[in-house]
Amino acid sequence: MSRKLVYTGKAKDIYTTSEDENLIISVYKDQATMLNGARKETIEGKGILNNQISSLIFEKLNVAGVATHFIKQLSETEQLNKKVEIIPLEVVLRNYTAGSFSKRFAVEEGLKLETPILEFYYKNDDLNDPFINDEHVKFLDIATDEEIAYIKNETRRINGFLSDWFSQIGLKLIDYKLEFGKDKDGNIILADEFSPDNCRLWDAEGRHMDKDVFRRDLGSLTDVYQVVLEKLQGLEK
Ligand code: UDP
């Protein structure tokens, strides 16, 4: 199967395949970045761990009836996905306060949000991914009212599954970022990845089991990601 590199991102490279123009191969890399790529490091083994974690979560979401781009894991670092046109929105869901939310509103981290809070950021590196609301989404022609409603409902439904799975393995799902895309028929489906690179997970002692280990220099990132993977592998099928 011959392939062609079509996109190189911070954490993944994307290839088209000669076999089917509606499929892509995502290759997870060992690179970790923060501050929009201003700090960049190679962390050996991260790509393998994130591919395994994201494949496991997307597989479970597919089984739960969520429409996603995930087809199957191909190798340690590769997965086969449906090709989508990414909707330029970072959809952030917060179950507990942390990170930029805590900074913006000057509140401590780890407070439970009785109603989980959903936020949109405009995915645009040149603008530094600004915080936007539904009306900006419409102004920027990113999505219609119906599409916005679908993305929000689907994100909250996904949050129910994810929060439950992580609670079963003793981890608190603090917050995370999702991305959606449109498939060849124009259907909106969940795309990108779900890994400790784009979520916050705290264990029972409040230890960070996610990319904050890198952002805040708290130790070995891959040791922590390995623990998350092993816990997820122990979830009932
Ligand atoms: N996030 C992400 N990519 C981004 C920004 C945020 O995956 O470009 C994730 C981040 O890992 C966290 C959640 O979205 O789980 C909320 O991030 P926040 O807005 O608190 O920003 P941060 O503190 O990470 O800068």
- Looking at residue 151, its pLDDT comes to 98
Q: What is the pLDDT of residue 35?
A: 87
Which pLDDT belongs to residue 2?
85
Find out whether 50 and 44 touch, Cβ atoms under 8 Å.
Answer: no
pLDDT-derived band of residue 237, with 50, 70 and 90 as boundaries?
A: low
Ligand 1 atom with least separation from CA of 175: 15
Quote the pLDDT of residue 220.
96
Q: What is the mean pLDDT of residues 168-182?
A: 98
C-beta neighbour count of 220 within 10 angstroms:
12
To test the ligand 1 pocket, which listed residue (126, 128, 176, 195) has its Cβ within 8 A of the most ligand atoms? 176
pLDDT at residue 236, as a whole number:
74
Residue 237's CB: how many other CB atoms inside 10 A?
Answer: 5
Q: How confident is the model at residue 36 (pLDDT cuts 50, 70, 90)?
A: confident
Percent above pLDDT 70 for the chain: 99
Cβ < 6 Å from ligand 1: which residues? 90, 92, 98-101, 129, 175-177, 198-200, 211
Question: Looking at ligand 1, which atom is closest to the CA of residue 174?
Answer: 15
- Output the pLDDT for position 1: 67
Instruction: Let me know: does 41 contact 25? Beta carbons within 8 Å.
Output: no
For the stretch 5-19, pLDDT in tens is 999 999 999 999 998
Q: What is the DSSP string of 125-169?
A: GGGT--EE-HHHHHHTTS--HHHHHHHHHHHHHHHHHHHHHHHHT
Closest CA to 122 of 82, 91, 168, 93: 91
- pTM of the predicted structure, to 2 decimals: 0.97
Q: pLDDT tens-digit profile of 52-85?
A: 999 999 999 999 999 999 999 999 999 999 999 9
What is the rounded average pLDDT for all residues in the chain?
Answer: 97
pLDDT computed for residue 37 by the predictor: 85
